[in-house]
Amino acid sequence: MSKQVVIVGGGVIGLLTAFNLAAKVDRVVLCDQGEVGRESSWAGGGIVSPLYPWRYSAAVTALAHWSQDFYPQLGERLFASTGVDPEVHTTGLYWLDLDDEAEALAWAAREQRPLSAVDISAAYDAVPVLGAGFKRAIFMAGVANVRNPRLVKSLKAALLALPNVTLREHCQISGFRQQGGRITGVHTADGVLEADDVVLSAGAWSGDLLRTLGLELPVEPVKGQMILFKCAEDFLPSMVLAKGRYAIPRRDGHILIGSTLEHAGYDKTPTEDALASLKASAVELLPGLADATPVAHWAGLRPGSPEGIPYIGPVPGHDGLWLNCGHYRNGLVLAPASCQLFSDLLTGAEPIIDPAPYAPAGRLG
Ligand SMILES: Cc1cc2nc3c(=O)[nH]c(=O)nc-3n(C[C@H](O)[C@H](O)[C@H](O)COP(=O)(O)OP(=O)(O)OC[C@H]3O[C@@H](n4cnc5c(N)ncnc54)[C@H](O)[C@@H]3O)c2cc1C
């Protein structure tokens, strides 16, 4: 397709959008105000599932299921072509002492997901380092986590190898060029960058940019803090989750504990309060961490949206402008499906799933 597409924002969503579109259109230019893949997509935990999938709408579930099936092949393909392994690590996930266990099991039966109640003694057998006192467990086999900093690194490497893709880092977009009813480019510090189509995938910052057109996109930054431990490789065999806090094992024994949910604007400062609270959760889940010192503590800004349903598709009244943003707590799991659906819509291909629930039309103020 003879087009130049400009993508604004190089988190996992912008990077994967660029990767998909590069196979379909003449030229793709991806601009990021910093380095690509250093914001939320770097800061997240990388669980390849919503935290409580049964609490989400069918719209989120549809994207999550498509992506979960696709992740292993995406990981292999990126590793083979770039030498950077995104480490899709399938460990399964235990939820402990849930209040809505019955709803979870009913959802799993309906959606045919491999989630089942397990005897708590079986959970302790499988995860001997689990803290004492948990009474009930459900387990979903097959849930993976992806090492998201490596995922974005390997996506960047894959894009750098493509002749029709240009990555422009440290290139902040301040607004859109409008000609007639059409968006025909973006404003950078160096002038206008022309585009046949512009894709807004600027994560938590997407609403600010759309506001320059007088449109209200209800996407706002939601701060999340995490801490990281380094343990023996076999310390934690599965992901575990209780009271909204989780532990994620990487293949090399790093354990992530997350996360907080804070409305603090664009502030990304890690706080002492969150550190203390995350450490307490870590020790409750895994008492063996009591004497360990976290090796890192950071915060990221999720692109919060109503019900976590992303905006994927064209912006009505502004031909040439498209959204792929607002993935809130699930941008890593939802990325493969969101970006495939997006590419289908922009290129006029048969969409992988019904695009209606994600359409910006009717959802912008
Ligand atoms: C603590 C935490 C834990 C998480 N855990 C998980 C999890 O386990 N599983 C999961 O699926 N998701 C998780 N998430 C959510 C996930 O990280 C996000 O939904 C996802 O990364 C969003 O990707 P994105 O590309 O939309 O945004 P981002 O990664 O934030 O990328 C947006 C990019 O746009 C750029 N940008 C912004 N404004 C401009 C501009 N004006 N010009 C140019 N560039 C611009 C930014 O520099 C940035 O690189 C977590 C998030 C956090 C913070």
**Does residue 272 carry a pLDDT above 90?**
yes
How, if at all, do strands 4-8 and 197-200 pair? parallel
- Tens of pLDDT, residue by residue over 203-246, are 999 999 999 999 999 999 999 999 999 999 999 999 999 999 99
Q: Is 260 in the pocket of ligand 1 (CB under 6 A)?
A: no
Question: How many Å lie between the centroid of ligand 1 and the Cα of residue 332?
Answer: 8
205 close to ligand 1 (CB < 6 Angstrom): yes
User: Which atom of ligand 1 is found nearest the CA of 32?
Assistant: 44
- Best of 39, 168, 257 for a ligand 1 pocket test (most atoms within 8 Å of beta carbon): 39
Give tens-digit pLDDT for 47-99: 999 999 999 999 999 999 999 999 999 999 999 999 999 999 999 999 999 99
**Confidence category of residue 248, pLDDT binned at 50, 70, 90:** very high
Structure confidence at residue 108 (pLDDT) = 96
Domains of the chain: 4-45+150-219+307-358 (3.50.50.60), 93-141+220-304 (3.30.9.10)
Ligand 1 center–CA 266 separation, angstroms: 12
Mean pLDDT, to the nearest integer, of 250-277?
A: 98
For the segment 279-308, what is each residue's pLDDT rounded down to a tens digit? 999 999 999 999 999 999 999 999 999 999
Q: What is the mean pLDDT of residues 247-270?
A: 98
Angle between helical axes of 58-82 and 331-347 (0-180°, round to 10): 90
pLDDT at 222: 98
Residue 44 alpha carbon to ligand 1 centre in Å: 8
Q: How far is the CA of 135 from the centre of ligand 1 (A)?
A: 35
Top mutation candidate among 226, 328, 332 for ligand 1, by most atoms within 8 Å of CB: 332
Strands 93-96 and 137-140: antiparallel
Backbone angles phi and psi of 215, in degrees to 5: -105, 140
Beta-carbon contacts of 82 under 8 Å, excluding residues fewer than 6 positions away, are: 154, 157, 158, 161
What is the arithmetic mean of pLDDT over 179-192?
96
Cβ neighbours around 138 below 10 Å, total: 18
Q: Are 222 and 263 in contact (CB under 8 A)?
A: yes
Q: What is the atom index within ligand 1 of the atom nearest the CA of 331? A: 19
Q: Which conformational region is residue 314 in: left (phi greater than 0), alpha (psi within -120 to 50 degrees), or beta?
A: beta
Mean pLDDT, the chain, as a whole number?
A: 97
- Residue 353 pLDDT exceeds 90: yes
Q: 126-174, pLDDT tens digit by residue? A: 999 999 999 999 999 999 999 999 999 999 999 999 999 999 999 999 9
Atom 15 of ligand 1, nearest CA residue: 329
Would you say the CB of residue 332 lies under 6 angstroms from ligand 1? yes
| Residue 323: band (very low, low, confident or very high) from pLDDT cuts 50, 70, 90 | very high
Q: Is the pLDDT of residue 2 over 90?
A: no
Return the pLDDT at 318. 97
The β-bridge relationship of strands 254-258 and 220-230 is antiparallel
Ligand 1: atom nearest CA of 329 is 15
42 Cα to the center of ligand 1, angstroms = 7
Question: What is residue 297's predicted lDDT score, i.e. its pLDDT?
Answer: 98
**From the CA of 65, how far away is ligand 1's center (Å)?**
20
- CA–CA gap between residue 130 and residue 143 (Å, rounded): 18
C-beta of 31 in contact with ligand 1 (< 6 A): yes
- Identify the band that residue 365 occupies on the pLDDT scale cut at 50, 70 and 90: confident
Q: Using a 6 Å cutoff on CB, does residue 130 contact ligand 1? A: no
Separation of CA 325 and ligand 1 centre (Å) = 9
What single letter denotes the amino acid at residue 237?
A: P
Predicted pLDDT at 1: 79
Q: Is the CB of 32 under 6 A from ligand 1?
A: yes
Q: Is pLDDT at 181 greater than 90 in this prediction?
A: no
